[in-house]
Protein backbone atom coordinates (compact mmCIF):
# COMPACT_ATOMS: atom_id res chain seq x y z
CA UNK A 1 0.00 0.00 0.00
CA UNK A 2 1.46 3.35 -1.04
CA UNK A 3 1.79 5.87 1.77
CA UNK A 4 -0.13 9.09 1.20
CA UNK A 5 2.48 11.26 2.93
CA UNK A 6 5.16 10.14 0.47
CA UNK A 7 2.86 10.63 -2.50
CA UNK A 8 2.22 14.18 -1.32
CA UNK A 9 5.97 14.84 -1.15
CA UNK A 10 6.34 13.59 -4.72
CA UNK A 11 3.48 15.85 -5.82
CA UNK A 12 5.10 18.85 -4.15
CA UNK A 13 8.43 18.02 -5.79
CA UNK A 14 6.74 17.99 -9.20
CA UNK A 15 5.47 21.50 -8.51
CA UNK A 16 8.51 23.03 -6.78
CA UNK A 17 11.42 21.37 -8.54
CA UNK A 18 13.88 21.03 -5.65
CA UNK A 19 13.95 18.97 -2.50
CA UNK A 20 15.04 22.07 -0.56
CA UNK A 21 11.88 23.94 -1.62
CA UNK A 22 9.66 21.00 -0.68
CA UNK A 23 11.34 20.79 2.73
CA UNK A 24 10.92 24.53 3.32
CA UNK A 25 7.25 24.54 2.33
CA UNK A 26 6.25 21.51 4.41
CA UNK A 27 8.52 22.07 7.44
CA UNK A 28 10.70 19.00 6.79
CA UNK A 29 14.46 18.74 6.62
CA UNK A 30 15.86 18.11 3.12
CA UNK A 31 17.33 14.80 4.28
CA UNK A 32 13.90 13.69 5.57
CA UNK A 33 12.31 14.50 2.21
CA UNK A 34 15.03 12.58 0.38
CA UNK A 35 14.60 9.57 2.67
CA UNK A 36 10.84 9.50 2.18
CA UNK A 37 11.15 9.76 -1.61
CA UNK A 38 13.76 6.99 -1.63
CA UNK A 39 11.38 4.84 0.39
CA UNK A 40 8.62 5.57 -2.16
CA UNK A 41 10.93 4.44 -4.97
CA UNK A 42 11.56 1.17 -3.15
CA UNK A 43 7.80 0.72 -2.69
CA UNK A 44 6.97 1.13 -6.38
CA UNK A 45 10.07 -0.75 -7.56
CA UNK A 46 10.95 1.62 -10.43
CA UNK A 47 13.01 4.84 -10.61
CA UNK A 48 11.02 7.99 -9.89
CA UNK A 49 13.72 10.66 -9.80
CA UNK A 50 16.65 11.78 -11.95
CA UNK A 51 19.24 14.34 -10.87
CA UNK A 52 19.87 17.36 -13.10
CA UNK A 53 22.28 19.73 -11.38
CA UNK A 54 20.54 21.12 -8.30
CA UNK A 55 17.14 20.12 -9.53
CA UNK A 56 15.46 16.74 -9.44
CA UNK A 57 13.52 15.62 -12.49
CA UNK A 58 10.59 13.25 -12.28
CA UNK A 59 10.51 10.21 -14.54
CA UNK A 60 7.42 9.52 -16.68
CA UNK A 61 6.35 6.94 -14.09
CA UNK A 62 6.64 9.58 -11.35
CA UNK A 63 4.44 12.01 -13.30
CA UNK A 64 1.81 9.28 -13.67
CA UNK A 65 1.98 8.66 -9.94
CA UNK A 66 1.60 12.38 -9.21
CA UNK A 67 -1.64 12.44 -11.21
CA UNK A 68 -2.99 9.61 -9.06
CA UNK A 69 -1.79 11.36 -5.89
CA UNK A 70 -3.68 14.56 -6.75
CA UNK A 71 -6.82 12.53 -7.39
CA UNK A 72 -6.45 10.71 -4.05
CA UNK A 73 -5.94 13.98 -2.16
CA UNK A 74 -9.11 15.36 -3.73
CA UNK A 75 -11.05 12.25 -2.72
CA UNK A 76 -9.82 12.59 0.86
CA UNK A 77 -11.05 16.21 0.93
CA UNK A 78 -14.44 15.08 -0.35
CA UNK A 79 -14.56 12.36 2.31
CA UNK A 80 -13.93 14.95 5.03
CA UNK A 81 -16.65 17.16 3.52
CA UNK A 82 -19.13 14.27 3.56
CA UNK A 83 -18.36 13.54 7.21
CA UNK A 84 -18.87 17.22 8.08
CA UNK A 85 -22.21 17.21 6.26
CA UNK A 86 -23.36 14.35 8.50
CA UNK A 87 -22.95 16.49 11.61
CA UNK A 88 -25.90 18.39 13.05
CA UNK A 89 -24.38 21.86 12.71
CA UNK A 90 -21.68 23.80 10.88
CA UNK A 91 -19.05 24.14 13.57
CA UNK A 92 -15.33 24.19 14.25
CA UNK A 93 -12.44 26.41 13.20
CA UNK A 94 -12.40 27.82 9.66
CA UNK A 95 -9.01 29.25 8.66
CA UNK A 96 -9.47 32.09 6.17
CA UNK A 97 -6.90 33.94 4.11
CA UNK A 98 -7.54 37.34 2.53
CA UNK A 99 -5.68 40.06 0.65
CA UNK A 100 -5.85 43.55 2.23
CA UNK A 101 -8.46 45.35 0.09
CA UNK A 102 -10.94 42.47 0.27
CA UNK A 103 -10.15 42.01 3.94
CA UNK A 104 -11.14 45.60 4.60
CA UNK A 105 -14.07 46.01 2.23
CA UNK A 106 -15.83 42.64 2.20
CA UNK A 107 -14.57 40.30 4.89
CA UNK A 108 -16.00 41.97 8.04
CA UNK A 109 -19.57 41.89 6.71
CA UNK A 110 -19.15 38.33 5.49
CA UNK A 111 -17.81 37.10 8.82
CA UNK A 112 -20.54 38.91 10.75
CA UNK A 113 -23.18 37.12 8.67
CA UNK A 114 -21.30 33.82 8.93
CA UNK A 115 -21.15 33.74 12.72
CA UNK A 116 -24.75 34.95 12.99
CA UNK A 117 -25.93 32.05 10.85
CA UNK A 118 -23.52 29.49 12.36
CA UNK A 119 -22.63 30.37 15.97
CA UNK A 120 -20.68 27.13 16.35
CA UNK A 121 -18.26 28.15 13.61
CA UNK A 122 -15.06 29.96 14.62
CA UNK A 123 -13.51 31.85 11.70
CA UNK A 124 -9.86 32.90 11.98
CA UNK A 125 -8.38 35.35 9.46
CA UNK A 126 -4.84 35.65 8.15
CA UNK A 127 -3.82 38.43 5.78
CA UNK A 128 -1.89 36.86 2.94
CA UNK A 129 -0.69 37.76 -0.54
CA UNK A 130 -2.65 35.82 -3.19
CA UNK A 131 0.64 34.46 -4.55
CA UNK A 132 1.18 32.57 -1.27
CA UNK A 133 -2.34 31.15 -0.99
CA UNK A 134 -1.82 27.91 -2.93
CA UNK A 135 1.11 26.92 -0.73
CA UNK A 136 -0.82 27.73 2.46
CA UNK A 137 -3.81 25.69 1.28
CA UNK A 138 -1.67 22.74 0.24
CA UNK A 139 0.12 22.77 3.58
CA UNK A 140 -3.20 22.83 5.46
CA UNK A 141 -2.50 26.24 7.02
CA UNK A 142 -5.69 27.65 5.44
CA UNK A 143 -9.06 26.13 4.58
CA UNK A 144 -10.28 28.82 2.20
CA UNK A 145 -8.86 32.10 0.95
CA UNK A 146 -9.71 35.13 -1.15
CA UNK A 147 -7.50 35.61 -4.19
CA UNK A 148 -7.74 37.93 -7.17
CA UNK A 149 -7.12 37.67 -10.88
CA UNK A 150 -6.77 40.49 -13.40
CA UNK A 151 -8.07 40.34 -16.96
CA UNK A 152 -4.57 40.72 -18.37
CA UNK A 153 -2.84 38.38 -15.89
CA UNK A 154 -4.43 34.92 -16.14
CA UNK A 155 -3.37 32.54 -13.38
CA UNK A 156 -2.14 29.09 -14.48
CA UNK A 157 -4.35 26.28 -13.15
CA UNK A 158 -3.16 24.39 -10.08
CA UNK A 159 -4.23 20.72 -10.00
CA UNK A 160 -4.60 20.83 -6.20
CA UNK A 161 -6.53 24.11 -5.90
CA UNK A 162 -10.11 24.89 -6.88
CA UNK A 163 -11.62 28.37 -7.16
CA UNK A 164 -15.08 29.92 -7.30
CA UNK A 165 -15.77 33.44 -8.52
CA UNK A 166 -17.27 35.76 -5.90
CA UNK A 167 -17.44 39.19 -7.55
CA UNK A 168 -15.78 41.53 -10.03
CA UNK A 169 -14.75 45.16 -9.81
CA UNK A 170 -13.65 47.79 -12.30
CA UNK A 171 -10.11 49.09 -12.61
CA UNK A 172 -9.34 52.82 -12.65
CA UNK A 173 -6.44 54.95 -13.75
CA UNK A 174 -5.64 57.46 -10.99
CA UNK A 175 -3.95 60.70 -12.03
CA UNK A 176 -3.26 64.06 -10.34
CA UNK A 177 -6.25 66.27 -11.12
CA UNK A 178 -3.96 69.24 -11.78
CA UNK A 179 -2.07 67.50 -14.59
CA UNK A 180 -3.01 68.32 -18.18
CA UNK A 181 -5.41 65.77 -19.61
CA UNK A 182 -6.60 64.43 -16.28
CA UNK A 183 -10.07 65.87 -16.83
CA UNK A 184 -10.54 64.22 -20.21
CA UNK A 185 -12.15 60.81 -20.54
CA UNK A 186 -11.19 60.02 -24.15
CA UNK A 187 -11.13 56.67 -25.90
CA UNK A 188 -7.56 55.73 -24.94
CA UNK A 189 -7.06 56.80 -21.31
CA UNK A 190 -3.88 54.73 -20.93
CA UNK A 191 -1.87 55.99 -23.89
CA UNK A 192 -2.00 59.63 -22.86
CA UNK A 193 0.06 58.77 -19.76
CA UNK A 194 2.96 57.00 -21.48
CA UNK A 195 5.37 59.88 -20.92
CA UNK A 196 4.72 60.47 -17.20
CA UNK A 197 6.04 58.72 -14.06
CA UNK A 198 4.14 55.67 -12.83
CA UNK A 199 3.54 54.17 -9.41
CA UNK A 200 3.42 50.38 -9.67
CA UNK A 201 3.39 47.35 -7.40
CA UNK A 202 6.43 45.04 -7.41
CA UNK A 203 6.67 43.33 -10.82
CA UNK A 204 6.64 39.86 -9.21
CA UNK A 205 3.09 40.45 -7.91
CA UNK A 206 -0.07 40.09 -9.98
CA UNK A 207 -0.84 43.79 -9.34
CA UNK A 208 2.55 44.79 -10.74
CA UNK A 209 2.22 42.45 -13.70
CA UNK A 210 -1.24 43.86 -14.39
CA UNK A 211 0.10 47.43 -14.70
CA UNK A 212 2.98 46.34 -16.94
CA UNK A 213 0.70 44.41 -19.29
CA UNK A 214 -1.96 47.12 -19.38
CA UNK A 215 0.66 49.68 -20.41
CA UNK A 216 2.24 47.33 -22.93
CA UNK A 217 -1.15 46.63 -24.48
CA UNK A 218 -1.47 50.41 -24.93
CA UNK A 219 1.89 50.46 -26.72
CA UNK A 220 4.42 51.54 -24.10
CA UNK A 221 6.38 50.44 -21.04
CA UNK A 222 5.68 52.45 -17.87
CA UNK A 223 8.46 54.54 -16.36
CA UNK A 224 8.26 53.46 -12.72
CA UNK A 225 9.15 56.21 -10.26
CA UNK A 226 7.79 54.43 -7.17
CA UNK A 227 7.28 50.73 -6.47
CA UNK A 228 4.57 50.47 -3.81
CA UNK A 229 2.29 47.56 -2.88
CA UNK A 230 -0.27 49.45 -0.75
CA UNK A 231 -3.08 51.20 -2.60
CA UNK A 232 -3.64 53.83 0.09
CA UNK A 233 0.01 54.87 -0.21
CA UNK A 234 -0.28 54.79 -4.00
CA UNK A 235 -3.26 57.18 -3.93
CA UNK A 236 -1.44 59.48 -1.51
CA UNK A 237 1.51 59.63 -3.92
CA UNK A 238 -0.78 60.34 -6.86
CA UNK A 239 -2.37 63.14 -4.83
CA UNK A 240 1.00 64.90 -4.45
CA UNK A 241 1.67 64.56 -8.19
CA UNK A 242 4.27 61.82 -7.99
CA UNK A 243 2.78 59.80 -10.83
CA UNK A 244 -0.20 57.89 -12.13
CA UNK A 245 -1.34 54.40 -11.15
CA UNK A 246 -3.91 51.68 -11.76
CA UNK A 247 -6.26 51.10 -8.82
CA UNK A 248 -9.03 48.50 -8.27
CA UNK A 249 -12.41 49.83 -7.21
CA UNK A 250 -12.33 48.26 -3.73
CA UNK A 251 -9.30 50.45 -2.94
CA UNK A 252 -11.22 53.64 -3.78
CA UNK A 253 -13.27 53.99 -0.61
CA UNK A 254 -12.14 57.57 0.04
CA UNK A 255 -9.96 58.82 -2.83
CA UNK A 256 -8.25 62.19 -2.30
CA UNK A 257 -10.19 65.09 -3.81
CA UNK A 258 -7.30 66.10 -6.08
CA UNK A 259 -7.07 62.68 -7.74
CA UNK A 260 -8.92 62.13 -11.02
CA UNK A 261 -10.13 58.60 -11.73
CA UNK A 262 -10.74 57.14 -15.18
CA UNK A 263 -12.51 53.81 -15.44
CA UNK A 264 -10.78 51.30 -17.72
CA UNK A 265 -12.20 48.42 -19.79
CA UNK A 266 -10.59 45.82 -17.52
CA UNK A 267 -11.62 44.05 -14.34
CA UNK A 268 -10.24 42.44 -11.23
CA UNK A 269 -12.04 39.26 -10.18
CA UNK A 270 -12.10 38.08 -6.58
CA UNK A 271 -12.32 34.32 -6.13
CA UNK A 272 -12.58 31.94 -3.19
CA UNK A 273 -9.80 29.33 -3.33
CA UNK A 274 -9.75 25.97 -1.55
CA UNK A 275 -8.18 22.53 -1.83
CA UNK A 276 -9.86 20.53 -4.57
CA UNK A 277 -12.58 18.42 -3.05
CA UNK A 278 -13.25 20.89 -0.22
CA UNK A 279 -15.80 22.89 -2.20
CA UNK A 280 -18.65 20.85 -0.71
CA UNK A 281 -17.45 21.18 2.89
CA UNK A 282 -20.27 22.90 4.83
CA UNK A 283 -17.93 25.45 6.45
CA UNK A 284 -16.42 26.44 3.11
CA UNK A 285 -19.84 26.61 1.46
CA UNK A 286 -21.23 28.73 4.30
CA UNK A 287 -18.31 31.15 4.01
CA UNK A 288 -18.63 31.50 0.24
CA UNK A 289 -22.38 32.13 0.58
CA UNK A 290 -21.67 34.85 3.17
CA UNK A 291 -19.07 36.38 0.86
CA UNK A 292 -21.50 36.52 -2.04
CA UNK A 293 -24.09 38.27 0.12
CA UNK A 294 -21.48 40.80 1.26
CA UNK A 295 -20.05 41.35 -2.24
CA UNK A 296 -20.26 44.86 -3.73
CA UNK A 297 -23.16 45.58 -6.05
CA UNK A 298 -26.54 43.99 -6.49
CA UNK A 299 -25.34 40.51 -7.44
CA UNK A 300 -22.51 38.13 -6.51
CA UNK A 301 -20.61 39.30 -9.58
CA UNK A 302 -20.95 43.05 -9.67
CA UNK A 303 -19.22 46.26 -8.82
CA UNK A 304 -19.22 48.74 -6.00
CA UNK A 305 -20.17 52.39 -6.05
CA UNK A 306 -20.11 54.27 -9.32
CA UNK A 307 -17.39 56.81 -10.05
CA UNK A 308 -18.77 59.24 -12.57
CA UNK A 309 -17.02 61.68 -14.85
CA UNK A 310 -13.41 61.98 -13.80
CA UNK A 311 -13.54 60.43 -10.42
CA UNK A 312 -16.25 62.09 -8.37
CA UNK A 313 -18.17 59.45 -6.37
CA UNK A 314 -21.82 59.38 -7.43
CA UNK A 315 -24.19 59.74 -4.47
CA UNK A 316 -27.23 58.63 -6.41
CA UNK A 317 -25.99 55.31 -7.74
CA UNK A 318 -24.62 52.26 -5.95
CA UNK A 319 -23.12 50.13 -8.71
CA UNK A 320 -20.80 51.08 -11.59
CA UNK A 321 -21.95 50.88 -15.15
CA UNK A 322 -20.42 48.08 -17.16
CA UNK A 323 -17.54 49.00 -19.46
CA UNK A 324 -18.26 48.34 -23.09
Question: Is residue 254 included in any domain, yes or no?
Answer: yes
Closest CA to 320 of 299, 297, 301: 297
Q: Which of 84, 102, 122 is the last residue of a domain?
A: 84
**Do 129 and 254 sit in the same domain of this protein?**
no
pTM: 0.72
* Tens-digit pLDDT profile for residues 313-324: 332 333 333 332
Question: Is residue 321 included in any domain, yes or no?
Answer: no
Q: Is 223 helix (H, G, I), strand (E, B) or coil?
A: strand
**Do 228 and 280 sit in the same domain of this protein?**
no
Q: What is the rounded distance in angstroms from the CA atom of residue 235 to the CA atom of residue 243?
A: 10
**Do 134 and 274 sit in the same domain of this protein?**
yes
**Do 210 and 309 sit in the same domain of this protein?**
yes
Total structural domains in the chain?
3
Question: Is residue 75 included in any domain, yes or no?
Answer: yes
Q: Give the number of other Cβ atoms within 10 Å of residue 249's Cβ.
A: 25
**Do 184 and 261 sit in the same domain of this protein?**
yes
Q: Which of 57, 84, 111 is the last residue of a domain?
A: 84
**Do 207 and 309 sit in the same domain of this protein?**
yes
**Do 224 and 309 sit in the same domain of this protein?**
yes
Query: 282-304 burial by CB neighbour count: b if 16+ within 10 A, else e?
Result: bbbbbbbebbbebbbbeebbbbb
Q: What is the CATH number of the domain that holds 194?
A: 3.40.190.10
Question: Is residue 29 included in any domain, yes or no?
Answer: yes
pLDDT for the residue numbered 314: 36
**In sequence order, what are the beta bridge partners of 200?**
227
pLDDT for the residue numbered 185: 55
- The whole-angstrom distance between residue 97's C-alpha and the CA centroid of its chain comes to 10
Question: Is residue 299 included in any domain, yes or no?
Answer: no
Q: What is the CATH number of the domain that holds 45?
A: 1.10.10.10
Q: Which of 49, 84, 119 is the last residue of a domain?
A: 84
User: What domain range includes position 75?
Assistant: 4-84
Residues in the chain where the model's pLDDT stays below 50: 298-324
Question: Is residue 323 included in any domain, yes or no?
Answer: no
Question: Is residue 322 included in any domain, yes or no?
Answer: no
Question: Is residue 318 included in any domain, yes or no?
Answer: no
What average pLDDT does the chain have? 83
pLDDT for the residue numbered 319: 32
Q: Is the distance from CB of 228 to CB of 288 less than 8 angstroms?
A: no
Amino acid sequence: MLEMRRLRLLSELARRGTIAEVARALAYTPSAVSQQLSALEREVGVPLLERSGRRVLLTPTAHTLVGHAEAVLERLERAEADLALARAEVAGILRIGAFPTAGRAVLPSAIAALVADHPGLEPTVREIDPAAVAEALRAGDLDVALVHAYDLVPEPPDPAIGTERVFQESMYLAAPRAWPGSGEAGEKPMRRWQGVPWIIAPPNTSCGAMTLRACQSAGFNPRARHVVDDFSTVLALVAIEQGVALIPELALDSPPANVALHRLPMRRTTLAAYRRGADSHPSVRAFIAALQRAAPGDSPVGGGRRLCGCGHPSRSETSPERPT
